[in-house]
Amino acid sequence: MSKFTSAERLSELLSDELEIYGKILKLTEEQSKLLAKDDIEAFDNSLDKRETLIEKIKGLHQESEPLMQSYVSLSSGGKEKNTEIDNLRKQIYDIIEKCAGINNENIATINEKAHEHTKKIDDQSLKRKGIGGYAQSVPNMPEVFDKKS
């Protein structure tokens, strides 16, 4: 395989990756909206879709990694520089950074919602204990409940 063909194939693989990363970004943005609406089931489905896309990227990486190593070693030696490949790499990196930022926000939102739900459950437990204590002091005699006032 010549250098020219390797660069073309690497460019093709990076373009495929960029397209998939674009889909991942859309899903990640969608997940923020789903969290805001408390639609956990749709959020879980979105995570599953994103995981499928990540698996596709892993498959592409198996082929692109050796080509990328070869490209980096050639371009660092000043022998070969391909602006298309460099632009694709930058675009992919930018999308990864955006996704990471949104993921961090989503994690913070999830942690906040989990804390809120935990607090609500604790409050309900305290109320139930309070009601339980009150119920024990009420006589449990059928004639008290059957009487009409």
Per-residue pLDDT tens over the stretch 90-144: 999 999 999 999 999 999 998 998 888 788 887 787 777 666 655 555 555 555 5
Helix ranges, the chain (H):
3-36, 40-76, 83-137, 142-146
Q: What is the pLDDT of residues 42-70, one digit of tens each?
A: 999 999 999 999 999 999 999 999 999 88
Whether the predicted model's global pTM rises above the 0.85 cut: no
Spatial neighbors of 27 by CB under 8 A, at least 6 apart, are: 46, 49, 50, 53
The burial of 105, by beta-carbon neighbours within 10 Å (0-12 exposed, 13-18 middle, 19 or more buried), is given as middle
Backbone angles phi, psi at 128, to 5 degrees: -65, -40
Neighbours of 64 (CB within 10 A): 20
Q: Which residue has the tokens 């879980």?
A: 44
Whole-angstrom distance between the N-terminal and C-terminal Cα of the chain?
A: 97
14-31 pLDDT, tens digit per residue, is 999 999 999 999 999 999
What domains does the chain contain, in order, with CATH numbers?
Answer: 3-136 (1.20.58)
CB atoms within 10 A of CB 124: 10
